[in-house]
Chain A
């Protein structure tokens, strides 16, 4: 399984942008980059995914480096509800099912 590396923890202030980095130097050409987050006492929640181009949705933006060896999840205006563990995952496919192997993730703290 291709591996990702993320900082253990990050801290930011409410209403400021947050940039969460992820390194995935062994990424293959068909690996999609997925981001999930897990709020306290909840199951993981999908945030965004992409392959080569930058992606935006209502929750966040995903910026993917040109060589695809790294990516950055951008929360444009953090709120206290964004405090969670954020996981960057390289998605594999096995017999049609998506195989997501979670790494250690980044614990994001938001200060009021």
Chain B
């Protein structure tokens, strides 16, 4: 199984809503990543977890709250978002302490009204 599964595929939310994006992998990877991608732009790194601990936060606003409850799951909690936060949110995973590939999911497309 070399898949990273992201749910939901599409999400529409209002600026006062609270929602979550979910990412799951069963490859035994202990590093997991959140990226944000706006249309026709490259993916932007948001957060990196290593052994279920947050190791990188690229100065992301606190309305985005990541969580890694176990080695297979990564969540991104969303609260009080702005319309400019509408984007494709990509999750990825990789082995730790190894040089190798990141496996990406297909993304969750978020629209904030």
Contact = CB atoms under 8 A, between A and B. Distances in A.
Contacts of B99: 32, 49, 51, 91, 98
Given A43-B106, A46-B101, A94-B55, A100 B45 contact: yes
Given A97-B49, A98-B31, A43 B56 contact: no
A79 to B, nearest CB: 21
Interface residues of B, number: 29
Interface string A92-111: 00111111111111000000
B21 interface: no
Nearest to A46: B101
Interface in B58-106: 90, 92, 94, 96-97, 99-106
Contacts of B53: 95
A45 interface: yes
B44 A96 contact: no
A96 B50 CA distance: 7
A67 B39 CA distance: 35
B104 A97 contact: no
Given A32-B99, A43-B92, A97 B42 contact: no
24 contacts: A38-B43, A42-B106, A43-B4, A45-B104, A49-B99, A85-B42, A91-B99, A94-B55, A96-B50, A96-B51, A96-B55, A96-B96, A96-B97, A97-B48, A97-B96, A98-B94, A98-B99, A99-B45, A99-B56, A100-B45, A100-B102, A102-B35, A103-B42, A104-B42
3 tightest A-B contacts by CB?
A43-B104, A46-B101, A102-B42
Given A46-B103, A95-B56, 8 more contacts: A43-B106, A46-B102, A94-B55, A96-B96, A97-B33, A97-B50, A98-B100, A100-B45
